[in-house]
Amino acid sequence: MANDRPIYFDNAATTAMDPRVVEAMAPWQGELYANPSSQHGPGRRARAAVNRAREQVAALIGARPQEIVFTGSGTEADNLALAGVIDANRGEPSHLVTSAIEHPAVLETARALQRRGAALTIVPVDSVGRVDPDDVRRALRPDTRLVSIMAANNVIGTLQPVNEIAEVARAAGALFHTDAVQAAGATRIDVAASAIDLLSLSAHKLHGPKGVGALYVRHGVALAPLIHGGGQERGLRSATENVAGIVGLGRAAELAADHLNSDIAGLTELRDRLIAGIRDACPNAYLIGDPVQRLAGHVCLGFSSQEGEAIRLLLALDEAGVAVSTGSACSASHTAEPSYVLQALGFDAFRARGALRLTLSRNNTLEEVERVIAILPGLVSSLRRIATSRR
Ligand code: PLP
C-alpha cells in the first residue's frame, strides 16, 4: 500500500489548489505586482483583477459584487461579521445567538464579545447536529442584533436549515450570519433568494489558496471594521489587497460554480459508497451526523466500543498512505481532547474522542474509496485485538 499514491481524504481541513487557480495567480505573484490603489496603468490593472474576483465570488453565492468584502481568512470573515455587527451598535444593549457546534472562529468570537458586555445565547443541537429553528425563535429578544448559525459543520458534515433560521431572525428584526466556510462551493447558496445578511467563506476549502476569505455583507447592513487604516474594501478591511490570493479565490469560486452540480452528484455517490462499504465490512461502525442533510463529500464515523482508538486508527491509516482526520484539523493540537461538537450531540467524553473524519473532494476517485474500504476493516480489527489484549 505504502508504494501507491497517497490518498487524501482530509478535504474539510484543506483542499489542493486547482492547477487552473495556480495558473491564474502566477502573474500576480510575479511581474504584476502593482498596488491596486495606485493610479497608474499597472495599478489599475491590479484593481481590475480584484474587481473581477469580486464578481466571481459574488456569482457563486448569488450576491452583488459590491456586497463582497475580501478578508485574510474564513476566521477573519467570521470575526468581522460578529464583532462588526455588535460594534456597529456600540452603546446599545446587544444580544447574540449562535449554536453549540460552531467553528471556534464563531464561538470564540462570540465569547470574546460576551466578555466585552454583549449578551450571548448558545442554542443546542439534536443528536445528528441539527439546530431547531424554534430554539432560535425562543432565544430571540428585543435586543438581539445577530443570529449566527453555520451552513455546514466541519466535524460532522451536518447541514443546517439556514434559510429557515434566517427568516426567523429577520422576522424578529435581527441580522443573520452564516459561516459557509465548509458549504460554499459544496452546496447551492443563493443569498439573494434568502434572508441571509452576512456569509463567510474561505478560499482554501474550495481548491483556492490559504490565507484569503470573503464576507458577503448584504447592501445596507451596517458593520464596524475590525482593521482600521487606509480604507480599502469600502473601509471594512484596510490593508493593501492580497491581489494574488484574491485572484485565486475568484478563480476557485468560478470553478466551484462551474463544477457544482457534477461535484455534488459525484461526491454524494462516493460518500455513500464509502459509508456503505465501511459499514458492511465493520459491523461496529456507525455514521455520525445527519444521514441525509449532510455535505456531499463528508463522512464521519464512530466505531462502537473502540471510540478511544480514533487517533490510533488515524495513524494506522496514515502509515497505509491514507490521510484522514479525527474531528477537526483546526483543533489538531487537542486531538486527545473530547470534541465539543460530538459532546453537543450527546456523546459522553469517551465517545467524543472517537470520530474518524473522511472528507472527499472532486480530486478523489472511486478506486480510492474502494482501497480505503479494503484497508480499514483490517486496521479496525487489529486495533481491537491490541485493545482487548491490553485490558
Ligand atoms: N469555519 C469553518 C466551518 C471551518 O471549517 C474553518 C476552517 O476549518 C473556518 C471557519 C476557518 O477558516 P480559515 O481556515 O480560512 O480561517
Q: What atom in ligand 1 is closest to the CA of residue 328?
A: 8
Average pLDDT over residues 36-56: 98
Average pLDDT of the chain, as a whole number: 94
The finding on whether 75 has its CB within 6 A of some atom of ligand 1 is yes
| Contact by Cβ (8 Å): 275, 78 | no
What is the band of 87 on the pLDDT scale with cuts at 50, 70, 90? very high
Q: Both 23 and 11 in a single domain?
A: no
Q: Both 216 and 300 in a single domain?
A: no
Residue 306 pLDDT exceeds 80: no
Predicted confidence at residue 305, as pLDDT, reads 77
The finding on whether 203 has its CB within 6 A of some atom of ligand 1 is no
| Contact by Cβ (8 Å): 215, 80 | yes
Predicted confidence at residue 328, as pLDDT, reads 47
- Report which of residues 299 and 306 the model is more confident about: 299
Range in 222-236, 260-274, 339-353 the model is least confident about: 339-353
CA of 304 to the centre of ligand 1 (A): 29
Strands (E), the chain: 7-8, 68-71, 95-99, 119-123, 144-148, 175-179, 198-202, 213-217, 285-287, 298-303, 322-323, 356-359
Predicted confidence at residue 331, as pLDDT, reads 47
| CA 88 to chain CA mean position, Å | 26
Bin 2: left if φ > 0, else alpha if -120 < ψ < 50, else beta: alpha
The finding on whether 82 has its CB within 6 A of some atom of ligand 1 is no
CA of 252 to the centre of ligand 1 (A): 16
Name which residue sits closest to atom 6 of ligand 1, judged by CA: 181
Cα–Cα distance between 251 and 20 in angstroms, integer?
8
CA of 60 to the centre of ligand 1 (A): 18
CATH of the domain at 136: 3.40.640.10
The finding on whether 150 has its CB within 6 A of some atom of ligand 1 is yes
- How far are the Cα atoms of 215, 316, 369 from residue 383, in angstroms, in the given order? 44, 9, 21
Cα–Cα distance between 144 and 119 in angstroms, integer?
9
Q: Both 144 and 170 in a single domain?
A: yes
- 282 annotated active-site: no
Q: Both 244 and 308 in a single domain?
A: no
Name which residue sits closest to atom 14 of ligand 1, judged by CA: 74
Predicted confidence at residue 334, as pLDDT, reads 45
Last residue in a domain, options 207, 231, 255: 255
CA of 188 to the centre of ligand 1 (A): 18
Burial 196-215 (b: 16+ CB within 10 A, else e): bbbbbbbbbbbbbbebbbbb
Bin 129: left if φ > 0, else alpha if -120 < ψ < 50, else beta: left
Residue 2 pLDDT exceeds 50: no
CA of 305 to the centre of ligand 1 (A): 31
Would residue 1 count as lying in a domain? no
CATH of the domain at 279: 3.90.1150.10
Last residue in a domain, options 199, 229, 255: 255
Q: What atom in ligand 1 is closest to the CA of residue 330?
A: 8
The finding on whether 215 has its CB within 6 A of some atom of ligand 1 is no
Predicted confidence at residue 332, as pLDDT, reads 47
Name which residue sits closest to atom 12 of ligand 1, judged by CA: 74
The finding on whether 97 has its CB within 6 A of some atom of ligand 1 is no
Q: Which of 6, 12, 124, 108 lies closest to 356, judged by CA?
A: 12
Whole-model pTM: value is 0.96
Residue 142 pLDDT exceeds 60: yes
pLDDT by residue (tens digit) across 324-382?
A: 998 744 444 544 688 999 999 999 988 888 799 999 999 999 999 999 999 999 998 88
Predicted confidence at residue 354, as pLDDT, reads 79
| Contact by Cβ (8 Å): 204, 21 | no
The finding on whether 202 has its CB within 6 A of some atom of ligand 1 is yes
Average pLDDT over residues 107-118: 97
Catalytic residue among 96, 151, 156, 330: 330
Cell numbers linked to 160: 443546517
Last residue in a domain, options 255, 273, 303: 255
Predicted confidence at residue 385, as pLDDT, reads 76
Predicted confidence at residue 330, as pLDDT, reads 45
- Characterize the bridge pairing of strands 68-71 and 213-217: antiparallel
Q: Both 282 and 220 in a single domain?
A: no
Cell numbers linked to 299: 463522512
Q: How many domains does the chain have?
A: 2
Range of the domain at 52: 19-255
The finding on whether 106 has its CB within 6 A of some atom of ligand 1 is no
Would residue 2 count as lying in a domain? no
The finding on whether 359 has its CB within 6 A of some atom of ligand 1 is no
CA of 57 to the centre of ligand 1 (A): 17
Cell numbers linked to 331: 483543533
Average pLDDT over residues 245-262: 98
Predicted confidence at residue 376, as pLDDT, reads 94
Helix (H, G, I), strand (E, B) or coil at 263: helix
